[in-house]
Structure 1
Amino acid sequence: MNAVIIAVLIMLVLSLLRINVVIALVIGGLAGGLIGGLTIDELVTVFSEGAGAGANIALSYALLGGFAVAISYTGLPKLLVDKIVKIVGKNDESRKQALPKVLIVLAILFISCLSQNVVPVHIAFIPLLIPPLLLVMNELELDRRLIATVITFGLTAPYILLPYGFGQIFHNTIAENMELSGLAIDASTIPQAMLIPTAGMVIGLVIAVFVTYRKPRQYEEKVISSTDHVGETAISTKDLAVTVLAIIAALAVQTFIESMVFAAVVGLAVLFIFGTVKVKDQDQLMTDGMKMMAFIGFVMIASNGFAAILTETGDVENLVNGASNIIGDSRSLAAILMLLVGLVVTMGIGSSFATIPIIAVIFVPLAAQLGFSSLATIALIGTAGALGDAGSPASDSTLGPTAGLNADGQHNHIWDTCVPTFMHFNIPLIIFGWIAALVL
């Protein structure tokens, strides 16, 4: 039995049974490694080395959490929430109407999309914006599964399609790895290849908004400790200017140095230097920020160890070879099997960026052998990578929404984020990725 399939299935089943995803990743990786022929000593070594590679990501999220909490000290979240509340209406009756709900959803969708291409902060905005809005969403009786779906769409679809911000990195990753695998392409053609798969995600979002989660859902009114300080005082003009400066400085560092760690440190430094956030508060805000983002950090560390074990077994290549033996000369069957292989790999790894190098080296020669065009090959590889971000329990595009929506303990990561995003995005991605591979 293929070690990759076994490892991913064990991880997913344990996660669906509400076992913590970190534990599920470790157990799944252990089982996959043993089935793949690794010894216990090799398992420990490979997992440790892989987990170590995820330390930078974990530190990045911890510092971004601290930066987000520091910004919340300035009063900017209060300003944003007050503006949104003013738009949707201040009395209970108006809040139960359809228009205010639509405005909330559109605002969150707009900000989520901006976070990938225009203002590339990725998930850092979530702990800043979402927890203070939970009380408003509770009054609107908005289903948080809808909000999770909206955020994950905004975190995924823009960078898959548009070559700006994180999208530029994603597109360059596809182009570079395809060239290394023997097929040189023009990176400017990637948006054309990814248009049809992205359209599938749009359809999934529309279904979630207007069909699946349109009914009201009630939540308990709970105090959110991490945002207790938010809204105690209105933000002054000077503090607003400094906060904007800190955000711009952090974005500039992240854009030119491509380091979330240094970006967060620079942003914090600006807030401290100008006195917008007091130095005496630094220990508390860093503790609050790390608490808020620690879960994501530990999952990313565990998923890196999990991915290292799967790669070491060599069964990813065996999985593709097995699929190619079934395919024969059928391009239609080949496309669906390649996407399903990508689904298995990316659901385990949880990162589209980390998945591309693994599958490109196998998909490119296989696609060439079967006569797929370069655009079709791009669609297959790009869609396979996107599957990891859109529904995996180990993806930061699902962990991020959970971190914000579960601030009061009423949002389950697997059943309220991963299952909804899998249904509405992974399934359409497979269908429309398959169509793209056949028509391009």
Structure 2
Amino acid sequence: MNAVVAAVGIMLILSLCRVHVVVALIVGALAGGLLGGLGIEGSLAAFNKGLGGGATVALSYALLGAFAVAIAKSGLAHALADKALAMVGKQDAKGAGLLKWLLIGLLLVVAISSQNILPIHIAFIPLLVPPLLYVLSKLQLDRRLIACVLTFGLITPYMFLPVGFGGIFLNDILLANVASAGVDTAGLDVTKAMTIPALGMLFGLVVALFSYRKKRTYDLSKIEQVERVDVAYNPLSLLVAGVAIVAAFVVQLWLDSMIIGALVGFIIFSVSGVVRWKEADGLFTEGMKMMAMIGFIMLAAAGFAEVMKATGEVKSLVDSSAALIGNNKALGALLMLLVGLLVTMGIGSSFSTVPIIAAIFVPLGMQLGFSPLAILSIVGTAGALGDAGSPASDSTLGPTAGLNVDGQHNHIWDSVVPTFLHYNLPLLVFGWAAAMVI
């Protein structure tokens, strides 16, 4: 069996069986490495090498967790809850429904903006989502829907709009790698190539709004304990919270560092007195613990990805698929998309997947007679496939980081499975259709 298929399969099966994702990633990586001929020492060496690639993001999340706890200490969560609940009567179903859609719309707009207008990617989630959990739970809004909304906003803009992270993905990665593999990309409209796949993401979002329309009950006492909604707040503490959040975002954009941005925000809370000096150490540790799981998953995912690359089995996977294809364009497009899904599910990043698959898919696409635009669409969609629905993707880890601060949102069953069903399956269909018609 192909090492990549085996590794990803083992990782997913263990994750679905509620084995911790970190354990599933390590076991899957070692199994893939052994099957790929690396041996136990080679597998461990590749895994350890990959750990360094995830260290920056893991530390970023740990510091963002500390910053999020400081925000909770300021009383911002309580203030937001009071303000939102005051907008509607607790028994006013019509007003509660309006507030529900306002909150969903707010999170969707912010998620989309995080990819282009204010390119901070997932950094906003630990800061914005936890303070809203009390209100969301009061409204009995299903968090699986929020996970789908956030994931849509994190993925669709970069795979369709050539600005911000989309400019990097579409122009610097997709177009550049397809061109270097032998396709003349001069004059090609990359947005046109990705329009139909992006419509697949939109279709998935609409279905998710229907799938998770029913109310879901959460334990408010757990949220009150974590988010400190009982803490007293005053205009000064709320002002400091606002300044700290703005400063964190500005510093991150200026220095391109989530680590320094979160650190600056936490320091502002400490200097202002909202977080007392004697409490700072405890709060910092508490926040890092809150995000520790996400950080360790990202570290393990980076190691897993490095083992998959070291086996060199991605090319053999494509070669074996090519043997099945013959001259069948429809089957060829489908198999290329499925291979992209498998690779991205394991690596967890479409940005890292495209350079790997482009060198193999482009010659195959040209051999099958696909147009340059169709090849762009296939490679771009194959790269994006698996970004949603992967246990190792920041597009699922980010939403979990914000929604699970009170322990009531399971990463696999509440983030990974819903986003896989609502985005990867439509993306397969719409991506195949795009390859066949453009």
Normalized against structure 1, the TM-score is what?
Answer: 0.91
CA distance in 2, matches of 1:233, 1:263: 26
What's the counterpart of residue 51 of structure 1? 51
Alpha-carbon spacing, 1:139–1:77, altered in 2? closer, same or farther (3 Å): closer
CA displacement at 1:275 relative to structure 2: 5.2
What's the counterpart of residue 219 of structure 1? 218
Superposed CA RMSD in Å reads 2.5
What's the counterpart of residue 291 of structure 1? 289
CA displacement at 1:34 relative to structure 2: 0.8
Normalized against structure 2, the TM-score is what?
Answer: 0.91
Alpha-carbon spacing, 1:261–1:389, altered in 2? closer, same or farther (3 Å): same
Alpha-carbon spacing, 1:244–1:365, altered in 2? closer, same or farther (3 Å): farther
Between the two proteins, the alignment pairs up a number of residues equal to 437
CA displacement at 1:202 relative to structure 2: 0.9
Residue deviations 1:364-395 (CA, integer Å, cap 9, x gap): 22222223233222222222222232110111
What's the counterpart of residue 320 of structure 2? 322
Matched position secondary structure for 1:92: coil
CA distance in 2, matches of 1:256, 1:184: 36
What's the counterpart of residue 4 of structure 2? 4
Matched position secondary structure for 1:358: helix
Say which of 311, 314, 338 aligns to 1:313: 311
CA displacement at 1:356 relative to structure 2: 1.8
Say which of 425, 428, 431 aligns to 2:429: 431
Residue deviations 1:68-87 (CA, integer Å, cap 9, x gap): 33333344444444443334
What's the counterpart of residue 335 of structure 1? 333
2:140 equivalent to 1:133: no
CA displacement at 1:141 relative to structure 2: 2.3
Structure 1 gap segments, 5+ residues each: none
CA distance in 1, matches of 2:137, 2:228: 20
2:182 equivalent to 1:182: yes
What's the counterpart of residue 169 of structure 2? 170
Alpha-carbon spacing, 1:348–1:97, altered in 2? closer, same or farther (3 Å): same
What's the counterpart of residue 155 of structure 1? 154
CA displacement at 1:243 relative to structure 2: 4.3
- More divergent stretch after superposition (159-168 vs 56-65): 159-168
Structure 2 gap segments, 5+ residues each: none
Residue deviations 1:146-198 (CA, integer Å, cap 9, x gap): 12211211222122222333223322222333343334636983322222111
CA distance in 2, matches of 1:276, 1:191: 47
CA distance in 2, matches of 1:356, 1:86: 48
- More divergent stretch after superposition (64-73 vs 395-404): 64-73
What's the counterpart of residue 378 of structure 1? 376
What's the counterpart of residue 391 of structure 2? 393
Q: Residue 369 of structure 1 aligns to which amino acid in structure 2?
A: Q
Any conservation in 2 of the 1:96–1:140 contact (CA below 8 Å)?
A: no
Any conservation in 1 of the 2:78–2:228 contact (CA below 8 Å)?
A: no
What's the counterpart of residue 302 of structure 2? 304
- More divergent stretch after superposition (343-352 vs 132-141): 132-141
Q: Residue 337 of structure 1 aligns to which amino acid in structure 2?
A: L
CA distance in 2, matches of 1:138, 1:187: 49
CA distance in 2, matches of 1:319, 1:129: 41
What's the counterpart of residue 107 of structure 2? 108
CA distance in 1, matches of 2:350, 2:112: 17
CA distance in 2, matches of 1:374, 1:268: 49
CA distance in 2, matches of 1:62, 1:129: 16
CA displacement at 1:351 relative to structure 2: 1.3
Matched position secondary structure for 1:91: coil
CA displacement at 1:15 relative to structure 2: 0.6
Any conservation in 2 of the 1:204–1:424 contact (CA below 8 Å)?
A: yes
CA displacement at 1:7 relative to structure 2: 0.7
What's the counterpart of residue 357 of structure 1? 355
Q: Residue 291 of structure 2 aligns to which amino acid in structure 1?
A: M
CA displacement at 1:117 relative to structure 2: 2.0
Say which of 318, 341, 366 aligns to 1:368: 366
What's the counterpart of residue 19 of structure 1? 19
Alpha-carbon spacing, 1:199–1:276, altered in 2? closer, same or farther (3 Å): same
CA distance in 2, matches of 1:297, 1:109: 24
CA distance in 2, matches of 1:120, 1:384: 24
2:406 equivalent to 1:408: yes
What's the counterpart of residue 142 of structure 1? 141
Matched position secondary structure for 1:391: coil
CA displacement at 1:49 relative to structure 2: 0.5
Identity of aligned residues (%): 54
CA displacement at 1:5 relative to structure 2: 0.5
Alpha-carbon spacing, 1:163–1:266, altered in 2? closer, same or farther (3 Å): farther
